[in-house]
Structure 1
Amino acid sequence: MTIELDQVQTGYEVVIGLEVHAQLATESKAFCSDPAAFGAKPNRHISPVSLGHPGTLPFINKKHIEFAAKLGLATHCQIRQYNYFDRKNYFYADLPKGYQITQDSAAICYDGFIRIKTASGNKDIRLNRIHMEEDAGKSIHDQDDENTLIDLNRAGVPLLEIVSEPDLRSGEEANAYLSEIRRLVRFLGICDGNMEEGSLRCDANISVRKKGTTGYGTRCEVKNLNSIKNVQKAIEFEAARQIELIEKGEKIEQNTLNFDADSGTTSVLRSKEMANDYRYFPEPDLPPIILSEAYIEEIRKILPALPEELYEKYTQQLGLSEYEANVITADYELVQYFEELIKETANYKAAAHWLMGSIKSYLNTHTVFIGSFLVRPKTIAEMIAMIDAGKISHTIAAQQLFHELIRHPEKTATETATALNLFIDKNEEKLDLIIDQVLQLHPQKVSEYKKGKKGIIGMFMGEVMKLSKGKIDPKAANRVLAEKLEK
């Protein structure tokens, strides 16, 4: 490409709408009792119903409806109380029935929005709809030189398709939007958000137009993007490609595209289908879904605290920084741990510091999730209380006590600190002797301090802590050290 994206953005505007498919964490499939779990051997989670055998009839999975309503309420959508399923007819090898059960004209959720954070502030991305449907199977092209293999385990797994309005204007905004969807579905417990396993997939509709114009250009749809990074890369490449065609005076064809992650380029997959190609009509084998106001209110009551609400709580009530609140609310398991931790301690800043510092560092180093972290929040809170009470230094807690608690998570912080003899020594005579010893070892530095170089008191404190092995009260040491240096 001869035109880079930064050049695109100077004279053109990128217009992006995303269709995100969230694979739901139900035990069974959308319209039959086949298991919906990921990871089974090929073609094991199938039955005559999911294979579309003649004479079989589908039935509705109540969890599918519940999860749709949860996501709709969490994204400020209207919930359509009378909705129904449709048949979307098309032939493909991994679609055993020859049609997909979906929602076309009566989606369960509509007119919502998802708020994202951008460099210029918050931005609401409007949602056209969230509708229920079933997944197709999986075509495997790389295991046989001559044949495509078909795994139908995924056929019939329940999906929610989240369709945005064309409100996104850059790959960065698309990245933020997808990250927010992934965070929401994880908080709601309806999808694990794992794009690598196909639990969350994205199709991107991309067009460009001259800045200042309001009409839409010819859009191309990039299909089945399987990572947030690839969505951003595909948008940036496709926008640049379309700009180059316009600048050359060529026409943009409305096509469905494939994205090659290795080369970072798009290529034509097929000509774009239109809605009438699918011959939608109401699904004759399933009744309409009628949701009462009472049902919707019950779903609203069981919604967990969502990221936006928790962000406000952490910054406004607990006094955390925006950065701290963003890091904690990015991960539902971190939030769960933090919420348990702040039930045990009122030192919220220290709780955030330990979670984002030592705990997160340990998790990253050992490649484990916090759900597998064995040191319970109550033990961390006990350690924070010991530091706050001046019983143990923060340095000793971070360097020794924390790691010993990981090795013996069944013990309390007090038991472990006692066994390792980590408590601060309050003996003032011993403190005097240690400080005198440090000052005697560094006469030149003492002279520099007395001549006005006050900043080197930190060096003396470091030596005092080292000589005492961290087992002295730093506040008392700092006071005594200052007194002796001023004599």
Structure 2
Amino acid sequence: MIMKYETVIGLEVHVELATESKIFCSCSAKFGAEQNEHVCPACCGMPGMLPVVNKRVVDLGMTAGMMLNCDINRVTTFDKKSYYYPDLPASYQTTQWFAPICVNGTVDIRTSAGEKKIRIKQIHMEEDAGKLVHDDWTDTSLVDFNRTSVPLIEIVSQPDLSSAEEVLAYLERLRDLLRFAKVSDCRWEQGSMRCDVNLSVRPEGSDVLGVRTEMKNMNSLSAIERAIEYETARHIDAIERGIGELVQETRRWDDIKGKSYSMRNKETAGDYRYFPDPNIMPVVIDDDWYDRIRASLPDFPEVKKARYMEELGLSEYDADQLIQSRAFCDVFEAAYAECGMAKEAANWLISDCASVLNKNQQTFDMLNINGKALGQLIRLVAEEKVSRGNAKRILAEMFKKDIDPEEFAKANGLILSNDTGAIEAVVKNVIVSDPKSVADYKGGKEKALMALFGKCMKELKGNCNPQVLRELLIKAINEE
């Protein structure tokens, strides 16, 4: 009889929080600075420096917990986790062990097997470590402390996951919810979302957990999927055929070679010698604070999607595009409130705004324009006061600064002209200057008309009604 096995997986997901400064000092927490540019004696672990808790970190920790259906501990404390590593200058990490900010949450996922509820054991706040940069050419390792003390939350799941498909669905759901609540940008490529995978294998139907291994700091969904599949097969081979020894350990995943390698024996809680940090007082979350965060929560993406389709008449495609980003939803709702045209507002965001963001190499979450002003711009186009082409020029300016679209259009000569006399004068000059295109059009070449139309638009700087221009152009040609 062939033995069947099941994989048991629990995840520890590290998410960098969307704060301006670090968790215990005022250094910048922004990504992309020069090495060791954002450091100070406090985040470098210098003796005598006292930490001060960044209240925004607690706000975002609570927000994450509420989005993941967690209970919020009204008194939460910080603890020292002792271990030595070169990128941890104080030789301990300030984290939460005895009273984490959130406990007992749930996340619903959907896979090809159906819906499943994944339990969250806890969410705790902590500081990140620095970054080691290895130089194989000189056989040296350098340390960049910019990331030291950047605020994190660690989301610890129960071992409720049983396949790579479920893990990816869970991670994508976490990413969507946390981005939507503006807790983090969750960018795998920048390390603002990372994952440790705890995995074991047991006979199908057994309730006894197998030997557990942990793969650290996985930073892409594809690597996580491949690592789970490899490690599952390795465990089964060890159980059935004695290929390798299974021990509780931490392993490193090499995505190029497609293999995992042993790093060190897996530590236990006792190894870390957790004890309360005497320099940080307990954080007490009163009712007013709790209620303020609860009131700030957004609707879940699927709730917004249903409302956009049922109440505003958007297609499923348009709604899906909008709910990819909280910023898109916020701007869309403000624009719709101003212009009353849901489809037009969605089109401007999905097409034109997305195009500008892509050109600037920005994500949808980086959209930062005035939604009310976008609604005004949409109305100007609908009322035929501004051409679609000139509206795009105005939109480009809106990405640079907050402007009034109509005032900007007037100041820059972008309001459509209803002066047919001026249009006719331009049409006459263009026809006289391009007799070949006129002859080609009369000979049946429609493209020649477009060439003449384009020249007229250029002379008029786009400030005329296209339909009026076309009619006057055809009339003038026929009168030749």
3-state SS, counterpart of residue 135 of structure 2 = coil
Superimposed CA distance per residue, residues 403-446 of structure 1 (whole angstroms, 9 cap, x where no aligned partner): 6666787866999694699xxxxxxxxxxxxxxxxxxx9xxxxx
Amino acid in the other structure paired with 1:381: I
Distance 1:374 1:112, change over 3 A: closer
Distance 1:404 1:36, change over 3 A: closer
Indicate the larger mover: 19-28 or 42-51: 42-51
- TM-superposed deviation, 1:109: 0.3
1:97 aligns with 2:123: no
1:382 aligns with 2:379: yes
Superimposed CA distance per residue, residues 214-234 of structure 1 (whole angstroms, 9 cap, x where no aligned partner): 332222111111223322232
Give the Cα–Cα distance (whole angstroms) in 2 for the partners of residues 377 and 313 of structure 1.
Answer: 21
Give the Cα–Cα distance (whole angstroms) in 1 for the partners of residues 267 and 94 of structure 2.
Answer: 18
Aligned equivalent of 1:241, options 234, 241, 245? 234
1:133 aligns with 2:130: no
Amino acid in the other structure paired with 2:375: K
- Equivalences for residues 363-442 of structure 1 within 5 A: 363-364=357-358, 367-369=361-363, 371=367, 377-378=374-375, 381-382=378-379, 385=382, 418=416
In the other structure, the counterpart of 2:264 is 270
Amino acid in the other structure paired with 1:115: D
In the other structure, the counterpart of 1:339 is 333
Give the Cα–Cα distance (whole angstroms) in 2 for the partners of residues 18 and 302 of structure 1.
Answer: 28
Using structure 1 for the length normalisation, give the TM-score: 0.74
In the other structure, the counterpart of 1:158 is 151
In the alignment, is the contact (CA less than 8 A) between 1:129 and 1:164 conserved in 2? yes
Give the Cα–Cα distance (whole angstroms) in 2 for the partners of residues 196 and 385 of structure 1.
Answer: 41
In the other structure, the counterpart of 1:211 is 204
Superimposed CA distance per residue, residues 381-400 of structure 1 (whole angstroms, 9 cap, x where no aligned partner): 327846xxxx89xxx96xx6
- TM-superposed deviation, 1:363: 4.5
- TM-superposed deviation, 1:275: 1.2
Aligned equivalent of 2:77, options 59, 65, 84? 84
In the other structure, the counterpart of 1:311 is 305
Amino acid in the other structure paired with 1:75: L
1:171 aligns with 2:164: yes
Distance 1:402 1:140, change over 3 A: same
- TM-superposed deviation, 1:75: 1.4
In the alignment, is the contact (CA less than 8 A) between 2:20 and 2:30 conserved in 1? yes
3-state SS, counterpart of residue 225 of structure 2 = helix
Distance 1:235 1:374, change over 3 A: same
Distance 1:136 1:144, change over 3 A: farther
Give the Cα–Cα distance (whole angstroms) in 2 for the partners of residues 374 and 287 of structure 1.
Answer: 41
Distance 1:384 1:227, change over 3 A: farther
3-state SS, counterpart of residue 188 of structure 2 = coil
In the alignment, is the contact (CA less than 8 A) between 1:374 and 1:406 conserved in 2? no
Structure 1 unmatched ranges of 5 or more: 1-7, 422-440, 442-464, 474-487
Amino acid in the other structure paired with 1:286: I
Distance 1:361 1:242, change over 3 A: farther
Distance 1:154 1:289, change over 3 A: same
Q: Percent identity?
A: 40
- TM-superposed deviation, 1:141: 1.0
Give the Cα–Cα distance (whole angstroms) in 2 for the partners of residues 165 and 98 of structure 1.
Answer: 29
Distance 1:131 1:222, change over 3 A: same
Give the Cα–Cα distance (whole angstroms) in 2 for the partners of residues 28 and 222 of structure 1.
Answer: 29
Indicate the larger mover: 61-70 or 371-380: 371-380
Amino acid in the other structure paired with 1:129: Q
Aligned equivalent of 2:109, options 116, 122, 134? 116
- TM-superposed deviation, 1:71: 1.2
Distance 1:121 1:82, change over 3 A: same
Superimposed CA distance per residue, residues 131-158 of structure 1 (whole angstroms, 9 cap, x where no aligned partner): 0111111111137522111112222222
In the other structure, the counterpart of 1:447 is none
Amino acid in the other structure paired with 2:67: A
Distance 1:146 1:89, change over 3 A: same
Distance 1:319 1:138, change over 3 A: same
Amino acid in the other structure paired with 2:139: E
Using structure 2 for the length normalisation, give the TM-score: 0.75
Superimposed CA distance per residue, residues 135-189 of structure 1 (whole angstroms, 9 cap, x where no aligned partner): 1111111375221111122222221111111222322332232223223333333
Give the Cα–Cα distance (whole angstroms) in 1 for the partners of residues 381 and 223 of structure 2.
Answer: 42
Aligned equivalent of 1:221, options 214, 222, 238? 214
- TM-superposed deviation, 1:361: 5.3
In the alignment, is the contact (CA less than 8 A) between 1:30 and 1:158 conserved in 2? yes
Distance 1:97 1:261, change over 3 A: same
Distance 1:123 1:338, change over 3 A: farther
- TM-superposed deviation, 1:110: 0.5
Distance 1:366 1:134, change over 3 A: closer
Give the Cα–Cα distance (whole angstroms) in 1 for the partners of residues 86 and 9 of structure 2.
Answer: 30
3-state SS, counterpart of residue 141 of structure 1 = strand
In the other structure, the counterpart of 2:321 is 327
Amino acid in the other structure paired with 2:298: P
3-state SS, counterpart of residue 222 of structure 1 = strand
In the alignment, is the contact (CA less than 8 A) between 1:183 and 1:332 conserved in 2? no
Amino acid in the other structure paired with 1:377: L
Amino acid in the other structure paired with 1:184: L
In the other structure, the counterpart of 1:286 is 280
Give the Cα–Cα distance (whole angstroms) in 1 for the partners of residues 126 and 170 of structure 2.
Answer: 22
Give the Cα–Cα distance (whole angstroms) in 2 for the partners of residues 419 and 231 of structure 1.
Answer: 59
1:298 aligns with 2:295: no
1:253 aligns with 2:250: no
Amino acid in the other structure paired with 2:217: N
Aligned residues: 423
- TM-superposed deviation, 1:100: 0.9
Give the Cα–Cα distance (whole angstroms) in 1 for the partners of residues 359 and 145 of structure 2.
Answer: 37
In the other structure, the counterpart of 1:460 is none
3-state SS, counterpart of residue 163 of structure 1 = strand
3-state SS, counterpart of residue 20 of structure 1 = strand
- TM-superposed deviation, 1:90: 0.6
In the other structure, the counterpart of 1:50 is 43
Amino acid in the other structure paired with 1:210: P
Superimposed CA distance per residue, residues 319-374 of structure 1 (whole angstroms, 9 cap, x where no aligned partner): 44444433321222222232223223444345435543555456546644452779
Distance 1:334 1:199, change over 3 A: same
Indicate the larger mover: 161-170 or 33-42: 33-42
Structure 2 unmatched ranges of 5 or more: 420-443, 445-449, 455-464, 469-480
